[in-house]
Amino acid sequence: MLGRVTGRAPEWRARSVRETIVAEAPGLIEAHELTKRFGDKVAVDHLSFTVGPGRVTGFLGPNGAGKSTTMRLICGLDRPNSGTATIGGLTYAQLQRPLHVVGALLEARALHPGRTARNHLLFLAETQGFAPRRVDEVLDLVGLRAVARKRVGGFSLGMTQRLGIAAAMLGNPAVLLLDEPVNGLDPEGIRWVRTLMRQLATEGRTVFVSSHLMSEMAVTADHLIVIGRGRLIAESSTNEFIQRSSDRSVLVRTPDADRLGKLIVSAGGTIQPDDASTGNGNATADPGASPDDGATSIVVTGLPAPRIGELAASASIVLYELTPRLASLEEAFMELTADSVEYGDSTARAAAGNQPGELPSELPSERPSEERSMS
């Protein structure tokens, strides 16, 4: 990866070699043992991670996990109790024209309601010495040209988010920090933000985006950093994350479930009746299928789908359906963070399939309790 070799320059060197460092690793965000306490409460707890350029990195965690605080620490708005956060090897305060290096959308309402959109962007541009023409360019980029001279107090949340993204793009920065950018957006706006993030990453920029919505991250993020209660829980690619944090299962529908079940068990698999097909859940999922075709659905774990197919073929058992199922990112996330939900209650933990203290990896031979209780 780019710039891992850079390392941190000593404080006295940082200023003199600033340009070089930024040029070597413009888009590398590094958090090192970052810790932030608010009174007794530890918001961020010895958090270390690296965010690299050229991809969208999702920053996941339940509400109150410390995502926003971490982003504020990276941007120098909050002072860490200990640890460091650097961008391209420099702390935020060492950047002479920070908007040129980092564009941040930390919260939508970070503006004076009485100021026009254009004036909001204009003063930001002036702090960096950017030409006023750049303001019009970013207004065009986010599609707010028509309301540029309207006061932002009258803007909808979606328009405010767009203005925040315009502000983040003012300096054409190599790094973008976006805190819950799709919050409050309509579907069209959500798609716009997703496309923009993907495009920015493709251009080689670092895109670091926080969300508590796993489904959102599943479609946008290439890489995930998951935190709970201020601590790092997982750091991996999105695919790896889904696969690692949940056991995979295969849905099998066959008129000869008893015989196939025995074969599967003797081959080392585990079978369970499929709770979805016995309830009315299946009707909505697949309205075309008749529940009265004489077949039974079973869920197999511990055997891959091709092996199950081979077993069925060897015994001349007819299969109506053979579907490998991945746990959704949502489920994977719930499993992983069930212990660290800040304001969760016991029902939320039970629904996530974990007892407190149990790790997801300790559950491979058994389906999570939700399936048992629902069947």
Partner 1 sequence: MTAPAATIVPAEPTGGDPVGLRLMHAEWTKIRSVQSTVWSLIAFVVVAIGFSALIAIVISNTWNSPGNHPNHAKLLADPTAVIFGAGLGLGQLAICVLGVIVISSEYTSGAIRSSLLAVPHRIPWLAAKGAVFAALVFVVSAITIFVTFFLTTAILRSHVSISLGQPGVAKAVIGGILYLTVLGLFAMSIGGLIRHTAGGIAIVIALVIVIPPLVSLIPGTIANHVHGYLPTVAGELVAQTSQQSGDVLSGWQGFGVFCAWTALLLAICGWLLVRRDA
Binding site for partner 1 (CB under 8 A): 1-2, 18-19, 22-23, 26-27, 52-55, 72, 75-79, 92-93, 95-102, 104, 106-107, 109-116, 119-120, 122-124, 126-129, 167, 172, 174, 201-205
Nearest 5°: the CA angle 134, 135, 141 is 90
Smallest separation (angstroms) from partner 1 to the CB of 237: 11
Residue 147 DSSP class: G
Q: Write the CA distances from 190 to 105, 220, 225, integer angstroms.
A: 15, 11, 21
Smallest separation (angstroms) from partner 1 to the CB of 105: 10
Helical spans, DSSP H, in 203-273? 214-220, 238-244, 257-266
Smallest separation (angstroms) from partner 1 to the CB of 65: 18
In the complex with partner 1, the residue whose CB is nearer, 78 or 321, is 78
Smallest separation (angstroms) from partner 1 to the CB of 20: 8
In the complex with partner 1, the residue whose CB is nearer, 78 or 256, is 78
Nearest 5°: the CA angle 170, 173, 141 is 45
- Contact between residue 19 and residue 87 where contact means Cβ atoms under 8 Å apart: no
Distance CA 274, CA 253 (A): 9
Smallest separation (angstroms) from partner 1 to the CB of 53: 6
Distance CA 32, CA 49 (A): 7
Smallest separation (angstroms) from partner 1 to the CB of 333: 24
Smallest separation (angstroms) from partner 1 to the CB of 332: 23
Distance CA 30, CA 224 (A): 15
In the complex with partner 1, the residue whose CB is nearer, 196 or 338, is 196
Radius of gyration of the chain (CA): 25
In the complex with partner 1, the residue whose CB is nearer, 107 or 371, is 107
- Contact between residue 117 and residue 147 where contact means Cβ atoms under 8 Å apart: yes
In the complex with partner 1, the residue whose CB is nearer, 107 or 321, is 107
In the complex with partner 1, the residue whose CB is nearer, 202 or 373, is 202
Nearest CA among 107, 74, 81, 257 for reference residue 175: 74
Question: What's the length of the chain?
Answer: 375
In the complex with partner 1, the residue whose CB is nearer, 113 or 306, is 113
Nearest CA among 106, 43, 45, 42 for reference residue 74: 106
Q: Which residues of 274-308 are buried (b: 16+ CB within 10 A; e: fewer)?
A: bbbbeeeebeeeeeeeeeeeebbbbbbbbbebebb
Smallest separation (angstroms) from partner 1 to the CB of 178: 13
Smallest separation (angstroms) from partner 1 to the CB of 182: 19
Distance CA 238, CA 223 (A): 5
In the complex with partner 1, the residue whose CB is nearer, 109 or 372, is 109
Q: Which two tokens stand for residue 120?
A: 């909001």
In the complex with partner 1, the residue whose CB is nearer, 61 or 171, is 171
Smallest separation (angstroms) from partner 1 to the CB of 145: 18
Using CA of residue 69, residue 73, residue 78, residue 81, what is the dihedral sign?
positive
In the complex with partner 1, the residue whose CB is nearer, 172 or 282, is 172
